[in-house]
């Protein structure tokens, strides 16, 4: 209150001298700087440390993947056929592979190929070499799944069987980068042969459902849902209560004439036949190809474009008309006197006057029957 | 047989050209090399680096060079209060032509890095037939602190790009010169135009992040003009 009084009493000139001149520059985007300045040094430091830790973690995981690739280069430790690897080898392979992304796995295959080995880690054989220097090669000759593929793709493996085994592993890898898998259960990787044995033991459906891991996914999602300050956001999911009987959806604005498809968000476009049906008198229900021009109706015979060519004199009359309208032509005047609501001659004069002024007309629409 | 000889002869010629370009490159960077080493003729190259059957012997194609006084000066770091005796980050350079035809993997790259490290070469140049793998590249980045490894493809070295008439002269500035430039024009580093470190010329000169090159171009109106670019 006292402030208010004080303001009133001060002289306007004095007031003006106190107020700083307004700059023409835009005010700085305050929202960002404000928030930054509000943060205390401790808070800022905490945030910096948090980000540094994340980067550090990422670096560590990348290093881990790198050393895993190096270790897996020399696998298998004892040469056994790829279909029945040493259990130790298989289990280490599966554990080392956990942080991998599919791209890392590709790198591993590439590295193994460079040292001349089959791309599948548990295979002791050297990779195969196709004879010839062709860039592309034929696979599955004389079979339905015949194809032409790049030679280097085929030369990655010792056999098709191994290619299958290696790619079987690849599709199980997680696309998410390892350092972003917060709360995700580490994946379980199966070798192709193992999978088959297990499938024999229990039902396919049960296994597939187990693979879905709905509960775990929900938990992982829950763990991810952490606010900025580390607080968990409470979220409960309820099913929506539905009362009443479900109804089949219907097209908006559909009516008995079946013109519902012309309706755009409750609006029917003006120049179409729809409006005319509603506005005009009901006696004009013939299907003689009337033309609608705005809200004005013109009968055929006036336009050369409409005439079907069966009526010779109609063509003639319209041909002369397109140059200069001759309202007195008998054939047309008969028709117009009986049907048109506006005298056609007047209309034509108007049209020509407008054309002379240089106003362009859209082509008149033909009535759709 | 005759056809095979032709193929081998072509390969030797290619290698000879790459060999010469590498030498010119090393010399242009400021290392000491004898003139006859750089301007080796095809015949003497054949004599020295080919086997008896005429095939090139890539194992033999290695050399090292030490930096000249001028180069040491150029790379010198001014002593500060915190760091009174700064280490100069240039040393001998080692160049190797990789004999294998396949791409370079982790193991080979590791071997190269350890070799450079053991012989205390500050930088190493690997001339290869085909590209290196992604993981091998990772090793190069990891070794940045103690050895500066560069990889060139043989086919990229067939001609010396800096000798082309459309390529202007690029001169690396020393730290002192860079500071003077920034002071004179009241610039921050980031306000300079940029040149990528993967740019062919930047690769030729072995530019590192933060280096500034002076580019001297011919100008119709001014005779010559200089511009400066920061390597990023």
CA distances from B3 to A129, B7, B8, B14 (A): 24, 6, 9, 17
> Which has the closest alpha carbon to A91: A169, A187, A218, A189?
A189
User: What's the rounded mean pLDDT across residues B151-174?
Assistant: 93
Instruction: Give the CA count within 13 Å in the CB-facing half-sphere of B166.
Output: 0
Alpha carbon of A111: minimum distance to chain B alpha carbons (Å)? 6
Structure tokens at B104: 């370079």
> Of the CATH numbers 3.20.20.70, 3.40.1340.10, 3.40.109.10, 3.30.70.260, which one belongs to the domain with range B2-50+58-159?
3.40.1340.10
Give residue B22's pLDDT band: very low, low, confident or very high (50, 70, 90). Answer: very high
Residue A305 has pLDDT above 50, yes or no: no
Strand order across the A296-298 sheet:
A296-298, A291-293, A365-366
Give residue A364's pLDDT band: very low, low, confident or very high (50, 70, 90). Answer: low
Residue with tokens 């193929």: B7
Inter-chain CB proximity B135 and A111 less than 8 Å: yes
CATH topology of domain B162-231: Eukaryotic RPB6 RNA polymerase subunit (3.90.940)
Residue with tokens 């000249």: B68
Please give the Cα distance from A121 to A112 (Å, whole number).
Answer: 8
- Report the pLDDT value the prediction gives residue A338, as an integer from 0 to 100: 47
- As a whole number of Å, the end-to-end CA separation of chain B is 50
User: Would you say B149 and B112 are in contact if contact means Cβ atoms under 8 Å apart?
Assistant: yes
Inter-chain CB proximity B105 and A111 less than 8 Å: yes
User: What's the rounded mean pLDDT across residues A36-50?
Assistant: 83
Residue A291 has pLDDT above 60, yes or no: no
Inter-chain CB proximity A114 and B104 less than 8 Å: yes
- Report the pLDDT value the prediction gives residue B224, as an integer from 0 to 100: 92
Alpha carbon of B100: minimum distance to chain A alpha carbons (Å)? 10
Please give the Cα distance from A182 to A188 (Å, whole number).
Answer: 16
Inter-chain CB proximity B138 and A110 less than 8 Å: no
Domains and their CATH numbers in chain A: 45-224 (1.25.40.820), 262-366 (no CATH)
Higher per-residue pLDDT: A251 or A293: A251
- Chain A partners within 8 Å of B102 (Cβ): 114
User: What's the rounded mean pLDDT across residues B20-33?
Assistant: 92
Scanning B81-110 for CB atoms below 8 A from A yields 102-108
Substitution target in A65, A112, A114, A116 with the highest count of B β-carbons within 10 Å is A114
CA A288 to chain centroid: 47
Delimit the CATH 3.40.1340.10 region(s) of chain B. Answer: 2-50+58-159
**Is residue A162 within a helix (H) or strand (E), and if so which, with residue range?**
helix A160-170
Structure tokens at B44: 């003497």
- Chain A partners within 8 Å of B108 (Cβ): 114
Residue B72 has pLDDT above 90, yes or no: no
Residue B129 has pLDDT above 60, yes or no: yes
* Pairs of residues, one from chain A and one from chain B, whose beta carbons lie less than 8 Å apart: 27
Inter-chain CB proximity A66 and B105 less than 8 Å: no
B46 cis-preceded (ω within 30 degrees of 0) = no
- Report the pLDDT value the prediction gives residue A48, as an integer from 0 to 100: 92
Alpha carbon of A192: minimum distance to chain B alpha carbons (Å)? 27
User: What's the rounded mean pLDDT across residues B97-121?
Assistant: 87
Higher per-residue pLDDT: A67 or A355: A67
Inter-chain CB proximity B104 and A110 less than 8 Å: no
Chain B interface includes A66 (CB < 8 A): yes
The residue of chain B nearest to residue A62, with distances taken between CA atoms, is: B138
B63 three-state secondary structure: strand
Residue A340 has pLDDT above 70, yes or no: no
Please give the Cα distance from B128 to B112 (Å, whole number).
Answer: 12
Which tens digits make up the pLDDT trace of A100-144? Answer: 888 999 989 988 888 888 888 888 888 888 777 788 888 888 888
> Which has the closest alpha carbon to B67: B31, B34, B13?
B31
Please give the Cα distance from B85 to A351 (Å, whole number).
Answer: 96
Cβ atoms within 10 Å of A28's Cβ, excluding its own:
9
**DSSP symbol at B174:** P
The complex's ipTM? 0.77
Please give the Cα distance from A97 to A249 (Å, whole number).
Answer: 50
> Which has the closest alpha carbon to B135: A180, A114, A74?
A114
- Residue A62, classified by CB atoms within 10 Å of its CB into exposed (0-12), middle (13-18) or buried (19+), is middle
Angle between helices B134-142 and A41-73 (to 10 degrees): 130
Scanning B134-153 for CB atoms below 8 A from A yields 134-135, 138
User: Would you say B93 and B31 are in contact if contact means Cβ atoms under 8 Å apart?
Assistant: yes
Of B103, B107, B135, the CB nearest to A107: B135
Alpha carbon of B103: minimum distance to chain A alpha carbons (Å)? 6
- Chain A partners within 8 Å of B134 (Cβ): 107, 110
- Chain A partners within 8 Å of B107 (Cβ): 73, 115
Residues A91/A92/A94/A100 CA torsion (nearest 10 deg): 170
Residues A121, A123, A126, CA angle at the centre, nearest 5°? 105
- Chain B partners within 8 Å of A69 (Cβ): 106, 135
- Chain B partners within 8 Å of A73 (Cβ): 106-107
CA A110 to chain centroid: 33
Residue A333 has pLDDT above 60, yes or no: no
Structure tokens at A256: 């008995």
Delimit the CATH 3.90.940.20 region(s) of chain B. Answer: 162-231
């Amino acid at each position: 209150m006292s402030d208010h009084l004080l303001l009133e009493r001060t002289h306007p000139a004095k007031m003006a001298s106190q107020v700083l001149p307004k700059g023409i520059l835009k005010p700085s985007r305050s929202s960002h700087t404000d928030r930054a300045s509000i943060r205390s040094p401790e808070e800022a430091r905490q945030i910096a440390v948090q980000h540094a830790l994340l980067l550090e973690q990422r670096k560590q995981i990348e290093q881990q993947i790198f050393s895993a690739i190096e270790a897996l280069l020399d696998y298998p430790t004892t040469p056994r056929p790829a279909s029945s690897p040493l259990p130790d080898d298989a289990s280490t392979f599966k554990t080392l592979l956990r942080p991998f992304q599919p791209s890392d796995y590709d790198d591993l295959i590439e590295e193994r190929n460079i040292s001349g080995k089959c791309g599948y880690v548990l295979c002791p054989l050297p990779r195969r070499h196709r004879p010839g220097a062709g860039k592309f090669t034929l696979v599955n000759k004389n079979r339905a799944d015949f194809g032409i593929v790049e030679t280097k793709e085929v030369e990655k493996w010792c056999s098709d069987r191994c290619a299958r085994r290696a790619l079987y592993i690849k599709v199980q890898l997680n696309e998410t980068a390892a350092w972003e898998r917060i709360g995700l259960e580490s994946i379980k990787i199966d070798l192709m042969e193992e999978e088959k044995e297990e499938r024999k033991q229990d039902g396919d459906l049960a296994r597939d459902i187990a693979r879905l891991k709905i509960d775990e996914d929900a938990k992982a999602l829950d763990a991810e849902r952490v606010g900025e300050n580390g607080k968990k956001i409470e979220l409960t999911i309820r099913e929506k209560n539905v009362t009443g009987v479900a109804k089949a959806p219907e097209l908006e604005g559909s009516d008995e004439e079946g013109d519902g498809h012309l309706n755009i968000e409750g609006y029917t476009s003006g120049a179409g036949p729809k409006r005319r049906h509603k506005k005009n008198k009901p006696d004009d229900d013939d299907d003689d190809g009337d033309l609608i021009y705005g809200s004005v109706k013109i009968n055929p015979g006036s336009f050369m474009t409409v005439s079907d060519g069966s009526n010779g004199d109609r063509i003639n009359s319209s041909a002369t008309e397109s140059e200069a309208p001759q309202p007195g032509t008998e054939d047309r005047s008969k028709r117009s006197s009986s049907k048109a609501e506006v005298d056609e001659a007047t209309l034509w004069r108007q049209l020509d006057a407008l054309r002379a002024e240089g106003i362009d007309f859209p082509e008149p629409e033909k009535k759709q029957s | 047989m005759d056809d095979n000889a032709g193929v081998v002869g072509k390969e030797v010629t290619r290698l000879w050209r790459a060999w010469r370009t590498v030498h010119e490159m090393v010399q242009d960077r400021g290392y000491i090399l004898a003139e006859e080493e750089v301007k080796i003729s095809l015949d003497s190259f054949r004599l020295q680096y080919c086997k008896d059957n005429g095939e090139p012997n890539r194992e033999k194609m290695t050399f090292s060079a030490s930096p000249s006084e001028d180069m040491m000066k150029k790379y010198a770091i001014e002593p500060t209060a915190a760091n009174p005796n700064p280490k100069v980050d240039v040393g001998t350079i080692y160049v190797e032509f990789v004999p294998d035809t396949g791409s370079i993997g982790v193991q080979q790259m590791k071997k190269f890095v350890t070799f450079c490290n053991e012989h205390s070469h500050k930088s190493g140049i690997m001339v290869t037939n085909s590209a290196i793998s992604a993981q091998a590249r990772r090793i190069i980045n990891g070794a940045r602190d103690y050895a500066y490894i560069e990889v060139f493809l043989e086919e990229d070295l067939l001609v010396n790009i800096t000798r082309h008439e459309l390529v202007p002269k690029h001169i690396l500035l020393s730290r002192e010169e860079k500071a003077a430039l920034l002071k004179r024009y009241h610039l921050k580093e980031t306000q300079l135009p940029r040149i990528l470190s993967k740019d062919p010329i930047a690769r030729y000169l072995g530019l590192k992040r933060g280096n500034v090159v002076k580019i001297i171009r011919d100008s119709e109106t001014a005779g010559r003009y200089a511009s400066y670019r920061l390597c990023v």
